[in-house]
């Protein structure tokens, strides 16, 4: 009985470690996605005003703004280069 309890405790801590590692990986991926979007906005060929608008949107709504930038904004920036 004591061996079975020790086995269950070992499995429980292993499960907690796996959940923590998975959560950390998701969090790091989300941060990389966010900072990638900000870097992409800054390096895009859009005019200063459009960069400011996209950057402000990405800062106010980090995940939604980043997602919309990659889905809509980058494509629009590639079609319509900004004025230097």
Q: Is residue 84 part of a domain?
A: no
Tokens coding 8: 């269950």
Residue ranges for the chain with pLDDT beneath 70: 1-15, 79-84
Q: Is residue 20 part of a domain?
A: yes
Q: Is residue 56 part of a domain?
A: yes
- The whole-number pLDDT of residue 53 equals 93
Look up the domain containing 57 and give its range.
1-79
Residues 6+ apart with CB under 8 A from 77: 44, 45, 46, 50
Q: Is residue 15 part of a domain?
A: yes
- The whole-number pLDDT of residue 11 equals 60
- The whole-number pLDDT of residue 84 equals 46
Q: Is 69 exposed, middle or buried (0-12, 13-18, 19+ CB in 10 A)?
A: buried
Residues 6+ apart with CB under 8 A from 70: 37, 40
- The whole-number pLDDT of residue 76 equals 74
Tokens coding 10: 């070992």
Q: Write b or e for each residue in 35-65: b if 16 or more Cβ atoms lie within 10 A of its Cβ, otherwise e.
A: eebbebbeebebeeebbeebbebbeeebeeb
Question: How many domains does the chain fold into?
Answer: 1
Q: Is residue 66 part of a domain?
A: yes
Q: Is residue 63 part of a domain?
A: yes
Q: Is residue 3 part of a domain?
A: yes
């Amino acid at each position: 009985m004591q061996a079975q309890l020790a086995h269950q405790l070992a499995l429980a801590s292993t499960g907690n470690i796996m959940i923590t590692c998975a959560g950390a990986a998701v969090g790091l991926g989300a941060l990389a996605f966010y900072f990638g979007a900000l870097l992409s906005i800054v390096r895009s060929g859009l005019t200063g005003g459009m960069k400011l608008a996209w950057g402000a949107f990405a800062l106010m709504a980090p995940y939604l703004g980043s997602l919309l930038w990659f889905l809509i904004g980058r494509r629009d920036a590639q079609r319509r280069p900004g004025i230097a």
